[in-house]
């Protein structure tokens, strides 16, 4: 290239060398990133790579996905399974912590691997796909658990499944009389919008209301391609919600949060949850104290449409579940 800019990649980058060749990882960071790669998965899609400004060492998109040697340092308060899913797993691939809803994790692959992920010890491109027999066991559990009204597909990322496979799973769940709602948590619409084909959108028309919770942390993630993918989902009757994590260096200012929530609304996504960071190993560089999070949200109230407001939540340690964190206000009157 005449200006020395490396070419934009056509495929997902999965190694430190590939990131370096694409200009997204300086030579001096290669050794540290290689050590991280031995423990945690790496993936940067072409859509995400195109969003990164390689000249900005503090780029908020790069920070979410480019491995850093700091990930190998586990702080004393960090936990392997911060949300403590294991004790709430009646059969492989299912997590039942709350009475009326349960998670189904059909696979553990994602389009990208986020450096702050709370399931980072489990997610990855190989493994984690339920076998036919395991999926049957999981579906049989839903069939015999009538208090569960909502099936929440997560992972990994359920939109990484083929439309045929995803449609089959949703159809089986929707056919259960006690299942009233389907929900999917996904990063695909922003991280790999090309995967949201008409066939995938059609697979989501399972005959029961389907809520899709889009995970995005920065306004720039709502590109024209992402907005197009979300539009295809809306046309298939999907209700879109937004889920974000409060992250140091990504969205830890009132302006960045306002921009993020407004970008969601423009893309027909209603902000649902802003999560406090879960203490997964090696994620301390992303931590924002709760008091700071509350103060940031207080600065939006009144100035920004109420539609933009997510609930700020924290996962209690040791399986305590999600609790709202405020912000708190002086008493009314």
- Nearest approach in angstroms of CB 120 to ligand SF4 is 7
Which residues are 214's β-sheet partners? Answer: 186, 242
Can you give the three-state secondary structure of the chain, one letter per residue?
Answer: CCCCCCCCCCCCECCHHHHHHCCCCCHHHHHHHHHHHHHCCCCECHHHHCCCCCCCCCCHHHHHHCCCHHHHCCCCCCCCCCCCCHHHCCCCCEEEEECCEEEECCCCCCCCCCCCCCCCCCCCCCCCCCCHHHHHHHHHHHHCCCCCCEEEECCCCHHHCCHHHHHHHHHHHHCCCCCCEEEEEECHHHHCHHHCCHHHHHHCCCCCCEEEEEECCCHHHCCHHHHHHHHHHHHCCCEEEEEEECCCCCCCCHHHHHHHHHHHHHCCCEEEEEECCCCCCCCHHHCCCHHHHHHHHHCCCCCCCHHHCCEEEEEEHHHCEEEECCCCCCCCC
Residue nearest to ligand PLP (CB): 97
Give which of 86, 18, 48 is closest to 223, Cα–Cα.
48
Q: Does 208 bind ligand PLP (CB under 6 A)?
A: no
Q: Which of 96, 183, 187, 275 binds ligand SF4 (CB under 6 A)?
A: 187
- Nearest approach in angstroms of CB 175 to ligand SF4 is 27
Q: Which of 152, 161, 256, 308 binds ligand PLP (CB under 6 A)?
A: 152
By CB under 6 A, the count of residues binding ligand PLP is 8
> What residue 103 binds from ligand SF4, ligand PLP, none (CB within 5 to 8 A, per partner kind)?
ligand PLP
Q: Does 247 bind ligand SF4 (CB under 6 A)?
A: no
Nearer to ligand PLP, 101 or 285 (CB): 101
Where in 88-117 is the site for ligand SF4 (CB under 6 A)? Answer: 110, 113-114, 117
- Any idea of the CA torsion for 48, 52, 57, 63, to the nearest 10 degrees? -20
Q: Does 275 bind ligand SF4 (CB under 6 A)?
A: no
Nearer to ligand SF4, 174 or 273 (CB): 273
Nearer to ligand SF4, 48 or 114 (CB): 114
Q: Does the annotation list 213 as a binding residue? A: no
What whole-number distance in Å separates Cα of residue 27 and Cα of residue 259? 33
Nearer to ligand PLP, 102 or 267 (CB): 102
Q: Does 97 bind ligand PLP (CB under 6 A)?
A: yes
Nearer to ligand SF4, 116 or 312 (CB): 116
> What residue 157 binds from ligand PLP, ligand SF4, none (CB within 5 to 8 A, per partner kind)?
ligand SF4
Q: Does 322 bind ligand PLP (CB under 6 A)?
A: yes
- Nearest approach in angstroms of CB 97 to ligand PLP is 4
Q: Does 300 bind ligand PLP (CB under 6 A)?
A: no
Q: Does 241 bind ligand PLP (CB under 6 A)?
A: no
Query: Residue 327: is the preceding peptide bond cis (ω within 30°)?
Result: yes
Q: Does 182 bind ligand PLP (CB under 6 A)?
A: no
Annotated binding site: 110, 114, 117
Please give the annotated binding residues for [4Fe-4S] cluster, written as ranges: 110, 114, 117
Q: Which residues bind ligand SF4 (CB under 6 A)?
A: 110, 113-114, 117, 119, 123, 157, 187, 215
């Amino acid at each position: 290239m005449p200006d020395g800019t490396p070419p934009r990649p056509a495929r997902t980058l999965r190694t430190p060398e590939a990131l370096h060749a694409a200009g997204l990882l300086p030579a001096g960071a290669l050794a540290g990133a290689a050590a991280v790669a031995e423990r945690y998965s790496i993936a940067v899609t072409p859509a995400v790579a195109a969003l990164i400004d390689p000249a900005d060492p503090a780029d908020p998109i790069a920070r979410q996905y480019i491995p850093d040697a700091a990930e190998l340092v586990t702080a004393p308060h960090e936990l392997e399974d911060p949300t403590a899913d294991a004790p709430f797993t009646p059969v492989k691939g299912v997590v039942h912590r709350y009475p009326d809803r349960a998670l189904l994790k059909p696979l553990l692959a994602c389009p990208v691997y986020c450096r702050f992920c709370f399931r980072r010890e489990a997610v990855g491109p190989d493994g984690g796909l339920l076998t036919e027999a395991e999926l049957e066991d999981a579906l049989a559990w839903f069939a015999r658990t009538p208090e569960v009204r909502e099936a929440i597909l997560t992972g990994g990322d359920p939109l990484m499944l083929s439309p045929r496979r995803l449609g089959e799973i949703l159809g089986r769940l929707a056919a259960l009389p006690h299942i009233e709602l389907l929900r999917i948590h996904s990063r695909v619409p922003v991280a790999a919008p090309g995967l949201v084909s008409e066939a995938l959108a059609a697979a989501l028309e399972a005959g029961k209301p389907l809520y899709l919770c889009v995970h995005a942390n920065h306004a720039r993630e709502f590109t024209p391609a992402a907005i197009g993918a979300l539009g295809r989902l809306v046309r298939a009757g999907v209700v879109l919600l937004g889920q974000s994590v409060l992250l140091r260096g990504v969205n830890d200012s009132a302006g960045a949060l306002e921009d993020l929530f407004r970008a969601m609304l423009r893309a027909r996504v209603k902000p649902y949850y802003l999560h406090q960071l879960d203490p997964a190993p090696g994620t301390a560089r992303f931590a924002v104290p709760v008091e700071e999070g509350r103060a940031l949200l207080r600065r939006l109230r009144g100035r920004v449409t109420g539609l933009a407001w997510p609930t700020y939540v924290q996962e209690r340690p040791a399986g305590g579940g999600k609790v709202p964190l405020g912000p708190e206000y002086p008493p009314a009157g």
